[in-house]
């Protein structure tokens, strides 16, 4: 075999090795302030369920995606822990514990287009709310932050767990243990409580899946779903009963 035939794969491997830190960095936005927090909660919506509970979504809600995007939420910075701010208070107020900013993030047309497809369309603008509550006080680069959300979501959607939700579980009643087991198997983890399942009552009174919250080590976000990136949620917030429905669009 020609010598270059051996050299090409070696060059490709070296290139990947060199690019790995760059790719990882692109996956992990760096906060300029208050970066001493321990973990993120990555919140995804099961769109047909999320949009069928409470006030529901607006009529212009896209139906292109089953797994939508809610947000990427940092846990309490040390400065707030030192002030005695409790975790539930941080959950309620977020960045307002530092200061309030009602301005929308500056994002490219491409990023805004993706968010319009993936984020639920609510009466009160969810993007502005998420940015104000969970992003602005950390001085993240907004474009990098939301790009990271897209990447992490894609890794869930394209995983065996995402395929399980969109094919096997979709449109039927499931057991909570079954969903958690599918998650643990897909990501080869014993951190069962890294996944928190959120449910609500739809307009027909059924208990339906609305959200999936995944807890990730802050310093391992770029490595998700591997290399110890998952961690058990410090405080349980799952509220789905033993059996619930994974609804479809009507």
| CATH assignment at residue 52 | 3.90.730.10
Instruction: Flag whether pLDDT at 16 surpasses 50.
Output: no
Total structural domains within the chain: 1
Q: What is the mean pLDDT of residues 111-140?
A: 97
pLDDT by residue (tens digit) across 180-211?
999 999 999 999 999 999 999 999 999 999 99
In a domain, 63, yes or no: yes
Note whether residue 224 is domain-resident. yes
The residue whose two tokens read 């959200």 is 211
Q: Would residue 101 count as lying in a domain?
A: yes
Residue 177 lies in a domain: yes
Residue found under tokens 């995804």 = 44
* Secondary structure (3-state) at 135: coil
The verdict on residue 250 lying in a domain is no
Q: Give the mean pLDDT of 119-139.
A: 97
102 pLDDT band, cuts 50/70/90, is confident
For residue 96, tell me if it sits in a domain: yes
Identify each DSSP E strand in 116-206 by its residue range: 173-175, 195-201
* Alpha carbon distances (Å) from 88 to 75, 126, 237: 11, 20, 11
Please indicate, yes or no, if residue 226 is contained in any of the structural domains. yes
Query: Which domain, by its residues, includes 123?
Result: 3-245
* pLDDT computed for residue 29 by the predictor: 85
pTM of the model: 0.89
Would 205 be classed as within a structural domain?
Answer: yes
């Amino acid at each position: 075999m020609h010598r270059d035939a051996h050299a090409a794969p070696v060059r490709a491997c070296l290139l990947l090795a060199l690019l790995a830190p760059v790719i990882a960095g692109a996956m992990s936005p760096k906060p300029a302030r208050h970066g001493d927090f321990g973990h993120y909660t990555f919140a995804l919506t099961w769109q047909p369920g999320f949009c069928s509970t409470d006030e529901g979504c607006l009529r212009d809600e896209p139906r292109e995606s089953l797994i939508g995007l809610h947000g990427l939420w940092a846990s309490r910075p040390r400065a707030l822990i030192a002030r005695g701010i409790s975790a539930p208070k941080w959950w309620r107020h977020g960045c307002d514990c530092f200061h309030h900013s009602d301005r929308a993030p500056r994002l490219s047309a491409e990023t805004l287009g993706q968010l319009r497809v993936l984020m639920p369309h609510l009466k009160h603008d969810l993007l502005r709310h998420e940015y104000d509550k969970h992003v602005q006080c950390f001085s993240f680069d907004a474009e990098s932050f939301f790009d990271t959300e897209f990447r992490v979501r894609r890794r869930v959607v394209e995983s065996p767990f995402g395929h399980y939700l969109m094919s096997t579980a979709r449109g039927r009643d499931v057991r909570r243990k079954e969903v958690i087991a599918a998650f643990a198997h897909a990501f080869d983890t014993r951190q069962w409580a890294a996944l928190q399942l959120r449910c609500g009552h739809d307009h027909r009174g059924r208990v339906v899946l609305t959200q999936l919250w995944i807890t990730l080590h802050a310093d391992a976000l770029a490595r998700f779903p591997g290399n110890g990136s998952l961690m058990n949620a410090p405080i349980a917030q799952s509220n789905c009963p033993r059996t619930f429905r994974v609804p479809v669009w009507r």
